[in-house]
Structure 1
Amino acid sequence: MSALNLDQLSDYLDGDQNEYGLDFAATHGFLSAIAVGPKFDNWLDALFDGNPKKVPSEIITQIKLWLDYLRQCLANEEGIEFPFEIEEAEVESSLGDWCVGFVDAMFLNEDAWFTPEFEEQLVDLTLPMMVFSGIDEEDPQMESFRRNGQLMDELAEEIPENLNELYLMYHTPN
């Protein structure tokens, strides 16, 4: 069994040979959403735009190990550790890229995420990710959030705890 090698993943995901996948930070966000959210069987196809067979097998193995590691951290109540400084409270940052990956994974499995029993709580817990992802650029409320530096800092600080809450929401019996 091979060990998780984040350097190898970073080199591949941020390199020119990565034709189908997200960059390193966005992939971490995508995998974090898969780990905290409801079951999603086709995540690997979705991550590599339907082309996982064109990605080197050692990278696929590393991606799966990374997801297993994130799930184990959550199950052990350790939370998800970010591979960059989360203090970068701007849309154009590693945190912004991470949020793009998170939101992509969430919307690819939208029906499972947005159930009536969780919808209100989900909107609150994923607001920071939505703001930092840069989607809804035309939404005046989102833009007002993005112009408020102090609010952006506060939203960034909420993300790790919100991930724990999302995990508990989808992975503990009612």
Structure 2
Amino acid sequence: MELPCELDLGETPDDSDLRGWCIGFMEGVFLRESVWFEDAEDEVSELLLPIMVGSGLFDEQPDFAEIAADPDLADSMVEQIPELLTALYLLCQAPEEKPALLKPRH
């Protein structure tokens, strides 16, 4: 998956295109929060973590402040976003039950 911006927060993260993209993504999550977290809250929370870090919306919370204070750690997290978007999609779109063709025969 390719993002419409570079995977880099740069020297001034608040001015980066990635920060704007992450904020927009998180706003979408907030609009339908119950849907995002209803089936796999822990997994979704874990997968959203790099996007949350990239957004800067949570930097006042102690755990996020530590990550934000370490630019190398923050950069390594936001570089994972394309892979995590794929994982989120698969988690949310995977059928609950295997199709009949994939079920073992007795």
Q: Which moved more, 1:104-113 or 1:132-141?
A: 132-141
Residue of structure 1 aligned with 2:42, choices 120, 127, 132: 120
Q: TM-score, normalised to structure 2's length? A: 0.81
* Counterpart for residue 6 of structure 1: none
Identity %: 37
1:1-174 aligned at under 5 Å gives the runs 79=1, 81-88=2-9, 91-92=13-14, 93-115=16-38, 117-174=39-96
Change (3 A) 1:132 1:113: same
**SS of residue paired to 1:165:** helix
Listed as ranges, the gaps of 5+ residues in structure 1 are: 1-78
Whole-angstrom distance in 1 between the partners of 2:36 and 2:3: 22
Whole-angstrom distance in 2 between the partners of 1:165 and 1:98: 18
Q: Deviations over 1:97-132 (max 9, x none)?
A: 1000000000100110011x3111111100011111
Q: TM-score, normalised to structure 1's length? A: 0.51
Q: Alpha carbon RMSD of aligned pairs, Å?
A: 1.5
Whole-angstrom distance in 2 between the partners of 1:99 and 1:142: 15
What is the total number of aligned residue pairs between the two structures?
A: 94
Listed as ranges, the gaps of 5+ residues in structure 2 are: 97-106
